[in-house]
Amino acid sequence: MRILLVEDNVRLARSLLEALGQAGFTVDCMHDGHSADHVLSTQDYALAILDLGLPRLDGLEVLRRLRQRRNPVPVLILTAHGSVEDRVRGLNLGADDYLAKPFDLSELEARARALIRRSHGHDRTELSCGPLHYDSISRAFTLHGELLALTGRERAVLEVLLLRDGRAVNKAALSEKIFGIDESVNADAIEIYVHRLRKKLDGSGAAIVTLRGLGYLLEAREPGATGAGS
C-alpha cells in the first residue's frame, strides 16, 4: 500500500520512512505543504500522514483543500502540541485520526493500518476470500491454514485486491497503489505479479479473475477450479 508522509523535520521523516518501509508500506515523503497539496491532487494514496506545522502551506490548509476536492483519502494528523484545539480543528476539517508527538512507532503503524481498513469498509483485522485469509496486523496470508510465501510486491498486490472486496481494480490503479512516485516501473510489472499470484492460488478456492475493460478482482471459487477468467 502506498501512503504519503508529510513532515518537515527531515530527521524525523527519515526515521518514519524507514519504520513504515519496514512495516511493508510504500512511502512518498514531502517536506512542505505546497508539495503535499500538489501530489495529493495528482496521485492516489491509501493514507496521508500529515504534520500540521509545515512551511509554505499550513497542514490544516492542505487538509482543507484536500477535502474541498472531495478526496476521501484517510488522513492521520501529527501534531507537536496535542492540544484539544488542534484536534478539533483537524477533525472538523475532515481528518480521520490524530497522533500527538512524541509517539510510539508501533502505534503509528497500528493506526495507519486501521484507517486503511476502515476506508475500505473493514472493521476486523482479519479478512478472507474463500480459503485465503489475511491478518492485517502481521500482514501474513494463509491458504488453507498454511502460510503463503509471498514477495513484498506480491503481498502488496494481494492486499489491494482483498481490500477491494470483490470490486475490480485496473492495472494503472494497482500500479499507483504499490509503487512509489519516484520508482521506475516496467509496464508489464503488474501482469508479472498477478501471474505469479495466480500460480500460487491455482486450484485453491481463491482466484484472481480478469474482467475485460475493468481489471482484476479476487474471488472465491470452488476448490480445484482453474483458469484466470476473462
- Could you tell me the residue ranges of all domains in the chain? 2-119, 126-220
Nearest to 119 by CA among 208, 43, 48: 48
The pLDDT mean for the chain works out to 91
Reported confidence tier of residue 229, pLDDT bands at 50, 70, 90: low
Which top CATH class is 2-119? alpha beta
Which top CATH class is 126-220? mainly alpha
Task: Mark 6-33 as b/e (b = at least 16 C-beta within 10 Å).
Answer: bbbeeeebeebbeebeebebbbbbbbbb
pLDDT tens digits for 106-144?
Answer: 999 999 999 999 998 887 889 999 999 999 888 999 999
**Do 2-119 and 126-220 agree at the fold level?**
no
pLDDT tens digits for 178-223?
Answer: 999 888 777 689 999 999 999 999 999 999 999 998 999 999 987 6
Q: Does the structure show a pLDDT above 60 at 147?
A: yes
The model's pTM is 0.84
Q: What is the distance between the alpha carbons of residues 109 and 96, in angstroms, rounded to a whole number?
A: 15
Using alpha carbons, list the distances in angstroms from residue 93 to 53, 67, 153, 165: 16, 8, 34, 29
